[in-house]
């Protein structure tokens, strides 16, 4: 029986790379029916909702989503682009991917960052004998629904909020600041969510043979929220005697990325810090063109590349963008569905294409994106997909 997958191209290059991933899935003979769903900037502008209820209903019914990319803009810019008939009616833009994560409690975000041999974008460092290219195979577990991305924030906080905050002694520093000049974002962490993401990180490490799990937080400053995360990790680590628990501060971790990234296995962090550290590791293995992710809840799972919509590249014909992050995200979907053999075949094909180096997208050639990249040897998006399919 064919599986039903909710396909959400989204915005910009999402509409380009999602069909390429489906081409690869078809080539590997993954039996699926793709049900296309509405999401993104177009629906914000004309409906005041970037994540329509009809799309939520499809995900609720079919449980699995494959997602391209999204355009998000600041509050004022979003309001300006709203259809005139909807303006001044209380509509507020909210990122649909964040909304999707929170609605379905997709609290486990997994972001593998693995270097492929032969990728000219891999991290290289100086050694005593010249230069060396460490093999990086890190997996970031990002708590996906809480923290600074929970969306509990105010500009000009109401009196009841301000009165509550002023019970804290640290608010004395803002005593004379008018409320209309205050913007407040909260960082909310719950114990149960901490426990779930940390245990999932340890289980993943155990399953795939990683020897360490690193909690990447800032408990020396964020004593309550980061402190809770690290304290729960110390308790859970006792259940996994063969796996070391490490801890690093987020700022120091970004420095250590260029010192010894190969020593890290599984890392776990709150929403914002997980976002930062996963992009940092992605930069060491080729950039966002190679960065895939999974958003997993107890019932629903959505798989997406971590790059943005890059609208400036959407209209280029032929397309120049790198589809590998989207294809690797589809591999994560296959793993989730128990189709591990198919996922491994695709990843092996990608590895062979990269190592051979005969076909490379503009980013792999370190070119500035534009319509002239082909004269310097860059392939099109579709040519990269063709080459991967040829190597299956």
Residues 6+ apart with CB under 8 A from 263: 212
Residues of the chain with CATH 3.40.718.10: 1-110+290-392
Residues 6+ apart with CB under 8 A from 290: 116, 119, 121, 282, 322, 324, 325, 328
Once rounded to an integer, what is the mean pLDDT over residues 246-273? Answer: 96
**Beta-carbon neighbour count of residue 355 at 10 Å?**
12
Question: How far is residue 272 from each of residues 197, 246, 365, measured CA to CA in Å?
Answer: 14, 19, 31
Q: pLDDT at residue 10 above 90?
A: yes
Q: How many CA atoms lie within 13 A of 374 on its CB side?
A: 12
Q: pLDDT at residue 74 above 90?
A: no
pLDDT of residue 13: 97
Measured over the CA atoms of residue 374, residue 379, residue 383 and residue 385, the dihedral's sign is: negative
CATH 3.30.9.100 fits 1-110+290-392, yes or no: no
Residues of the chain with CATH 3.40.50.2300: 123-146+189-284
Structure tokens at 94: 């909210």
pLDDT of residue 2: 87
Q: pLDDT at residue 1 above 90?
A: no
Distance separating alpha carbons of residues 127 and 106, to the nearest angstrom: 42
Residue 111 confidence class, pLDDT cut points 50, 70, 90:
very high
3-state SS of the chain?
Answer: CCEEEEEEEECCCHHHHHHHHHHHHHHCCCCEEEEECCCCHHHHHHHCCCCCHHHHHHHHHHCEEEEEECCCCCHHHHHHHCCHHHCCCCCCCCCHHHHHHHHCCCCEEEEEEECCCCCCCECCEEECCEEECCCCEEEEEEECCCEHHHCCEEECCCHHHHHHHCCCHHHHHHCCCCHHHCEEECCECCHHHHHHHHHHHHHHHHHHCCCEEEEEECCCCCCCHHHHHHHHHHHHHCCCCCCEEEEEEHHHHHHHCCCCHHHCCEEEECHHHHHHHHHHHHHHECCHHHCEEEEECCCCEEEEECCCCCHHHHCCCCCCCCCHHHHHHHHHHHHHCCCHHHHHHHHHHHHHHHHHCCCCCCCCCCCCCCCCHHHHCCCCHHHHHHHHHHCC
Structure tokens at 92: 């507020």
pLDDT of residue 144: 96
Structure tokens at 28: 């590997």
CATH of domain 123-146+189-284: 3.40.50.2300
What pTM value is reported for the model? 0.94
3-state SS of 126-190?
Answer: EECCEEECCCCEEEEEEECCCEHHHCCEEECCCHHHHHHHCCCHHHHHHCCCCHHHCEEECCECC
**Beta-carbon neighbour count of residue 34 at 10 Å?**
17
Please give the backbone phi and psi of residue 188, each rounded to the nearest 5 degrees, phi first.
-110, 125
Q: pLDDT at residue 247 above 80?
A: yes
pLDDT of residue 112: 97
Once rounded to an integer, what is the mean pLDDT over residues 269-276? Answer: 96
Question: How far is residue 373 from each of residues 307, 316, 378, measured CA to CA in Å?
Answer: 20, 11, 6
Residue 75 confidence class, pLDDT cut points 50, 70, 90:
confident
Distance separating alpha carbons of residues 102 and 8, to the nearest angstrom: 17
Mean confidence (pLDDT) of the chain: 96
High-pLDDT (> 90) share of the chain, % = 95
pLDDT tens track for 208-237? 999 999 999 999 999 999 999 999 999 999
């Amino acid at each position: 029986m064919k599986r039903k997958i909710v396909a959400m191209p989204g915005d910009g290059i999402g509409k380009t790379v999602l069909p390429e991933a489906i081409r690869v899935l078809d080539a590997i003979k993954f039996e699926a029916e793709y049900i296309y769903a509405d999401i993104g900037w177009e629906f914000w502008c004309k409906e005041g909702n970037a994540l329509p209820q009809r799309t939520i209903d499809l995900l609720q019914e079919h449980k699995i989503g494959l997602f391209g990319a999204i355009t998000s803009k600041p509050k004022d810019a979003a309001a300006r682009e709203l259809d005139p008939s909807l303006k001044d009616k209380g509509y507020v833009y909210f990122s649909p991917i964040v909304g999707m994560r929170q609605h379905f409690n997709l609290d486990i975000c997994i972001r593998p960052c693995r270097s492929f041999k032969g990728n000219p974008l891999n991290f290289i460092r100086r050694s005593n004998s010249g230069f060396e290219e460490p093999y990086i195979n890190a997996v970031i577990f990002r708590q996906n629904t809480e923290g600074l991305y929970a969306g509990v924030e105010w500009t000009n906080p109401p009196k009841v909020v301000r009165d509550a905050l002023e019970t804290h002694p640290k608010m004395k520093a803002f005593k004379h600041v008018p409320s209309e000049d205050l913007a407040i974002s909260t960082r909310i962490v719950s114990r149960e969510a901490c426990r779930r993401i940390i245990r999932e990180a340890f289980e993943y490490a155990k399953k795939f043979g990683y020897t360490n799990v690193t909690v990447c937080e800032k408990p020396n400053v964020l004593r309550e929220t980061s402190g809770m995360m690290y304290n729960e990790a110390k308790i859970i680590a006792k259940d996994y005697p063969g796996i070391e628990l490490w801890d690093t501060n987020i700022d120091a971790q970004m420095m250590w990325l260029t010192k010894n990234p190969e020593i890290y296995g599984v890392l776990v962090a709150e929403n914002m810090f997980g976002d930062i550290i996963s992009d940092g590791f992605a930069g060491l293995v080729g950039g966002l063109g190679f960065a895939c992710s999974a958003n997993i809840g107890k019932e629903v799972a959505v798989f997406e590349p971590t790059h943005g919509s890059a609208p400036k590249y959407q209209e280029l014909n032929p397309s120049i963008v790198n589809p590998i992050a989207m294809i690797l995200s589809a591999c994560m979907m296959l793993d989730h569905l128990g189709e591990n053999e198919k996922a491994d075949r695709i990843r092996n094909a990608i590895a062979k294409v990269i190592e051979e180096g005969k076909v490379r997208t503009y980013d792999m050639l370190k070119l500035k994106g534009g319509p002239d990249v082909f004269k310097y040897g860059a392939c099109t998006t579709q040519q990269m997909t063709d080459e991967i399919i040829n190597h299956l």
